[in-house]
Chains A and B, each alone.
Chain A
Amino acid sequence: GNSVTQMEGPVTLSEEAFLTINCTYTATGYPSLFWYVQYPGEGLQLLLKATKADDKGSNKGFEATYRKETTSFHLEKGSVQVSDSAVYFCALRGTGNQFYFGTGTSLTVIP
């Protein structure tokens, strides 16, 4: 079946630190992979996506590479800002067209 496992939080970093949030997946076929971000009081917003192996998604300084050999899609950012504080969700869209979400990782960036 399909599932997503992501790094448990909460994560607290100082401004300008390097961020990694791990995400691994189990899927049949060739899923598309996504990272979403949720700011307080809001819905989930698409952050980036990758649709095939070795694709790199990027947006707002965040990057993630679709690694089929390790079934991973880790989120990285070289220098986080206070405004990056949010909850981050890894997700996959399987061949059945349903989405499967991880449990979310809360990130707090302190000045």
Chain B
Amino acid sequence: DADVTQTPRNRITKTGKRIMLECSQTKGHDRMYWYRQDPGLGLRLIYYSFDVKDINKGEISDGYSVSRQAQAKFSLSLESAIPNQTALYFCATSRTGQNQPQHFGDGTRLSIL
């Protein structure tokens, strides 16, 4: 089983719809992150959370919200989807500590028509 699981893996939806992407982890890590990946732009941080009571905006948080329901779960919502939010979305986790790497899920490919 994957340590970091994202659902759904693929989603096609229409402009204006509300969408939730879910992430769960079995690694026991405190920190969780949401990124989007666009061709030529690499990964850009949307939101991150260092524990259940801690939520922080990343580089591109406008149009997104998150919820850290438990240590193991971190969901990303698009309240009213727009076509330029079409992208590949990744959840990642890490332990506390500067030397600790991030561990990624397999991604959710989201298309907004």
A residues lining the B interface (CB < 8 Å): 31-32, 34, 36, 41-46, 49, 51, 89, 93, 95, 97-99, 101-104
Q: Is A93 touching B98 in the complex (CB atoms < 8 A)? A: yes
B74 at the interface (CB under 8 A from A): no
User: Could you tell me the distance between the alpha carbons of A99 and B27 in the complex, rounded to whole angstroms?
Assistant: 19
Which of B40-48, B65-73, B76-84 makes up part of the contact surface? B40-48
Residues of B in contact (CB 8 Å), total 24
User: Could you tell me the distance between the alpha carbons of A44 and B91 in the complex, rounded to whole angstroms?
Assistant: 10
B34 at the interface (CB under 8 A from A): no
Q: Is A102 touching B104 in the complex (CB atoms < 8 A)? A: no
CB-defined contacts of B103 to chain A, threshold 8 Å: 46
Given known contacts A89-B42, A101-B43, A103-B42, is B107 in contact with A49 (CB within 8 Å)? no
CB-defined contacts of A101 to chain B, threshold 8 Å: 42-43
User: Could you name 6 residue pairs across A and B whose Cβ atoms are closer than 8 Å?
Assistant: A32-B98, A42-B106, A51-B98, A97-B31, A99-B92, A99-B102
20 extra interface residue pairs, beta carbon distance < 8 Å, beyond A49-B101, A97-B50, A103-B40: A31-B98, A36-B104, A43-B105, A44-B102, A44-B104, A45-B104, A46-B101, A46-B103, A51-B98, A89-B42, A89-B43, A95-B98, A97-B31, A97-B96, A98-B48, A99-B33, A99-B45, A99-B92, A99-B102, A103-B42
